[in-house]
Amino acid sequence: MSVSVQTEDFDLARETAALTQGRSDCGAVASFVGLVRGASDGVSAMTLEHYPGMTERALGQIEAEAHARWKIAAVRIIHRVGRLLPGEQIVFVGVASSHRGEAFAACEFIMDYLKTRAPFWKKEETPSGARWVDARETDETAASRWDSSA
Amino acid sequence: MSVKVLFFASLREALGVGEISVDLAPAGSSVGAVREALAARGGDWAALGPGRAVRAAVNQDMVPASHVLRDGDELAFFPPVTGG
């Protein structure tokens, strides 16, 4: 299963190694880990809500799109849901390929699309109460730059 | 015809409900028409009104407001996503 939506944490070393387990055709593994940012923003905790079913479906479509655009060997996407504390891991994207160019590009593409197309919503706990995080225009801009390079 | 309508995140909280069933008089109603009809209920439903950032999905795929609904569809309204 290359896409997981789960409450449990994940092991970075194990997930990265699993991408190339039992194969020797890959010369590159690129990965991204997203963390809960807390202290600077006064956030004491964060709760991630999602749309069960559509979330897995959307992530699977993003993975398929990455395979269609680049010659990549393996992809792993993990996104956590539920209540998370500052410093905790939220999301993992790992891509293995023959050469680094494809791995870097596909990893960034997957994160950009995930940010704008996968149905997750963050609610932050702050000293002044809980608040839903607003979507950022810069995320739309980041995702749209892949449209023209298709 | 009838469709199931789901709400998520801030929209679910504003409406105080996560799921409703809606009967559509004319078959062939669009997602935008359902949104307008719900917003017209007034009160908390203004959260679906014009000018509010609301996205829609039908049968778990994102769709534009012009998407035409079919009997038994699962329609969802939610704010722009903020995962990652």
- CATH classification of the domain holding B56: 3.10.20.30
Cβ A70 vs Cβ A105: under 8 Å? yes
What is the structure's pLDDT at A150? 47
Task: Tell whether B56 lies on the interface with A, counting CB pairs under 8 A.
Answer: no
What is the structure's pLDDT at A1? 62
> Which class would CATH give A3-9+27-143?
alpha beta
In a domain, B14, yes or no: yes
At A149, the pLDDT band (50, 70, 90 cuts) reads: low
What is the structure's pLDDT at B24? 84
Q: How high is the ipTM of this complex? A: 0.94
Determine whether the interchain pair B10/A90 forms a contact, defined as Cβ–Cβ distance below 8 Å: no
Task: Tell whether B4 lies on the interface with A, counting CB pairs under 8 A.
Answer: no
Number of domains in chain B: 1
